[in-house]
Amino acid sequence: MQFIFHIGPPKTGTSAIQYWCETHRDWLLQHKIFYPSHAMDANDISSGNLLSLYSVDCVTGNLELNVSKLEQLRAEAVSLDAEIVLLSSEFFFKRVNELAEHFPTAKFLAYIRFELELLESNYNQAIKRHGRITTFKPPRSPQADSVKFLTRYIDNFGKERFILRPYSETLFKHSNIVSDFLVQILGFTPDQAIVKSRRINRRYSAEGVELKRWFNQFSISKLQEKLDLFLQVIGNESSSYSIIDKGTFEWLKKGYIDELEKFLEKTKVENKDVFLAECKDTKQNSIHIQYIDIFCFSELIRRFIDNEKTNEALLLEFYCTNVSAAVSFVDKVRMEAIYKNLSLKARLKIKRGQNNSTFKFLRSTVLKKSNAYKDEYLAFVGRGLDKLWNNQNQQRVCPQVNLVSHHIPHTTPKEFSLALEYAYGRTHVHHVRSAPKIAALKLGESIWIPAKTHVLHGHFPYHNQQRIFFPNALHVCWVRDPLERLWSYFNEVLIFKRPQLLYKNIVSLSEKQGISTIENLFDAFMLSGEFDFIKSAQSNYITEGGEGRFAFIGSVHNYAEDLPKLEEVIGRKIELSKGNMPPKVVGNKHSYEKNRLILREEYRFIENYM
């Protein structure tokens, strides 16, 4: 009796072969081939015949070859009058030494795929099935595991025991991997092995990978299956892409070609010259930066909810379970996007869980919409008054303003502005959001503000003229680790695609240098003099010599100590979490110190407050 082990390796069409064999066991048996049955998941993916031979050791928890299962398998094959026992599992690829000894006449069938293709396919699989949350990182050297292991096996057991096939659609029999597989195990002529097969375990789109990579950091056990199926369908609609930097791609390609050429010289592989030529002709697909903007994120969430009735309930449970774990700026923005795409009924359930009555939630929802319309109307009126004010070239003194809060982007959280509203009253806090007002304050010009304004808060720097317009105001601001703040701002630009010109320039930098990972793009951004104007935002906001005019400058990394100082300065209670924000390594760890050195002047300027 002949044993044939299909050993993969991973990402070489194994799922498609196993699905066909499992659903055509009777057909195989008619041709004297026994293929033991195995389970498949909702994606029609399985571990193949792994458990037909192996069992979990109750002591070590490891998978061990089970001799009794082996004997049972032989007996069943004999009873079915089978001449060949066919077993398929990618797990077998790392157990060939063991299997070759227990089955001295067995043959091993493997497909050889160009490692450069495998790199991106394996990364996609790690995101899909294994919960990976980090961006793609290339190997330190171009050495293919599949080639390394196959070389050892052939040296140990002889090349006559291995059936090696090139993984190439143009070289498959009938351009079909199942047909190609059957020709090898049955000895059919190609015309006898014309079968139909379906694609299993399809690739995600570039955006789908980023969506799933973000979800992987949370608990998604109940969401996993539905999200995976949805993203596979979406992947069918997308074009090919690459996540390897251009320079790295060319370096890896040369190394893998050299390795493959040496391997093929020593082994018996049909059409190996054609296969090698195809590998040498491999062209890189368009490079995709590894991030997903908020508009695409929201669109995918919306489509996922609409895809199946049960999906919204799963997403609702995910939100309720994980929203408190969203700490970073990016995580909070994406959680908010999920919340906004839920139906009103689903959001009511969230509010009930927060001990809010349905009436209160509906009332707050109506008020929010009312306030939104009111704010929109006031903004419209404000723009008109700003225009009139600027045309008259007037300068207005506002003695009622007693606090000017200079919000340096990506220092204090959104909750700080809400805390100011709580401390002073919503109508007494004026948020400077419009570009003309920000530009005017930056240039030391006056702006129109409502008569009730006691607090001015917004993204505008200090200017000495502001002391004339707001003579009774205290000036305050918060600072943050410069590199960490810049990394956060860099992510915001990519997520929201604004400011539009800055976003386009960053994307253009990626295209010019062929960069795919957001960490490498950040390094290039740091080295480019084109973006120097935003690298010193904190010193630009406080201004040289202006720090002496501030009543308070606090560090977000010392909230616990600095928040009481602010309360003492303004004479009011600030309802805000007093937990410190610890500095963290951002971007690539290996370039962290180098990037800090680029910002040395910024670090020097704020070191007294850190």
- Does 404 fall in a domain? yes
Nearest to 50 by CA among 10, 84, 113, 5: 5
DSSP string, 492-541: HHHHHT-SHHHHHHHHHHHHHHT--SHHHHHHHHHH-GGGGGGTTHHHHH
**How far out from the chain centre does Cα 84 lie?**
45
Residue 402 and residue 272 share a domain? no
DSSP H helices in 135-205:
145-157, 177-186
| pLDDT block averages, 10 residues each, the chain of length 610 | 94 93 94 94 87 92 92 95 96 96 95 95 93 94 94 95 95 89 79 67 91 96 92 89 95 97 94 96 95 97 95 95 90 95 90 58 50 53 52 71 95 86 94 93 92 96 94 96 94 94 96 95 96 93 84 90 93 77 76 94 88
How many domains are there within the chain?
A: 2
pLDDT for the residue numbered 358 = 47
Number of H helices and number of E strands within the chain?
27, 12
Helices (H), 329-413: 329-341, 344-353, 358-392
Q: What is the pTM of this model?
A: 0.84
Print the domain residue range for 150. 2-200+241-280
- Note whether residue 321 is domain-resident: no
Is 1:82 a contact under the CB 8 Å cutoff?
yes
Same domain, 601 and 454: yes
- Amino acid 351: pLDDT: 75
Q: Which of residues 251, 280, 309 is at a domain's end?
A: 280
**Residue 23 forms part of a structural domain:** yes
Angle made by CA atoms 511, 512, 516, in degrees to the nearest 5: 45
Residue 121 lies in a domain: yes
Same domain, 276 and 399: no
CATH, residue 44 = 3.40.50
Considering the domain boundaries, does residue 430 fall inside one? yes
Q: How many CA atoms lie within 13 A of 141 on its CB side?
A: 4
**What is the C-alpha R_g of the chain?**
31
Give the closest residue to 563 by CA, choosing from 413, 459, 408.
413
Q: Is residue 301 part of a domain?
A: no
CA distance 57 to 592: 45
Rounded to whole angstroms, how far apart are CA atoms 518 and 487?
Answer: 10
| Position 248 in a domain | yes
Report the candidate in 322, 316, 331 with the shortest Cα–Cα distance to residue 218: 322
The C-alpha angle with vertex 135 and arms to 13 and 335, in degrees rounded to 5, equals: 105
Q: Does some domain include residue 485?
A: yes
pLDDT of 202: 82
